Homo-oligomer: A and B are copies of this chain.
């Protein structure tokens, strides 16, 4: 395949994805569903972040979760133990969710995703490919943990450029690893000066309140 042909194929894939993402967003807007797309490396703590968040906020807000993984129903099962409903998408080896997968999930789960609710989509753990695919979300949240090194924003810039909030997780481990928060924040600002940042620990609960405020503020203003 020539390079020109490859670029044409990619353009078609992205154009089709954007078209369906727009339809998804129109549906979410019509039903006042605030949608957050959570992206990160594998193991940064997205599922644990959701477990804690849902447990703390489920009396105040209605939630639904869509989980994306190559294989297994593990993450959806973990979410269900909080009492919140979850739908598992298996990509069967695919490296990211796309808007058509979300569209299908909506068709199956329409009756379960309430009006005036918050929908979390936990993407496949991958700091590269999910950055190229709009799912129809309102906000994209990139999670990194302090065990991953503070240089991730400049090494994976697309993900940080396309996100609205960066959560720096596992700050309870800061004293055991070489991670400079100030340097990480500087790198974030280099690639995206508008990106909001919250440092927190799902384990100790430190700064979880700031994350909850962010959810409630953005859900209201959506």
Residue of B nearest to A191 (CB): B71
Contact with B along A1-38 (1 / 0, CB 8 A): 10000000100110010000000000000000000000
Please give, as numbers and ranges, the residues of chain B lying within 8 Å of A93 by CB-CB distance. Answer: 128, 158
Q: How many copies does the complex hold?
A: 2
Residue of B nearest to A8 (CB): B1
- Residue on B with the closest CB to A95? B128
**A151 adjacent to chain B (CB < 8 Å):** yes
**Bound CA–CA A72/B158 (angstroms):** 13
- Residues from 113 to 140 in A contacting B, C-beta threshold 8 Å: 124-129
> Could you say which residues of chain B place their CB within 8 Å of the CB of A69?
155
Residues of B within 8 A of A85 (CB): none
A148 touches which of B1, B42, B157 (Cβ 8 Å)? B42
**Docked-complex contact A74 and B145, CB < 8 angstroms:** no
Q: How far is the CB of A115 from chain B (nearest CB, A)?
A: 32
Chain B residues with CB below 8 A from A157, complex form: 70-71
Q: Which residue of B lies closest to A75 (CB)?
A: B155
Residues of B close to A41: CB separation below 8 A: 41-43, 125, 148
Q: Does A176 contact B (CB under 8 A)?
A: yes
Complex Cα distance, B153 from A74, in Å, reads: 12
A86 to chain B, nearest CB (A): 15
Cross-chain pairs A/B with CB under 8 angstroms, 28 sampled = A1-B9, A1-B16, A41-B43, A42-B127, A42-B148, A42-B149, A43-B144, A43-B147, A43-B148, A71-B157, A72-B155, A74-B151, A74-B154, A74-B155, A93-B128, A94-B128, A95-B95, A95-B126, A95-B128, A95-B129, A124-B128, A126-B126, A126-B127, A126-B128, A128-B129, A145-B147, A147-B170, A176-B176
Binding site for B on A (CB under 8 A): 1, 9, 12-13, 16, 41-43, 69-72, 74, 93-95, 124-129, 144-145, 147-149, 151-152, 154-158, 170, 172-173, 176-177
Closest 10 CB pairs of A and B: A43-B148, A147-B147, A95-B128, A41-B42, A41-B41, A43-B149, A42-B127, A95-B129, A1-B12, A126-B128
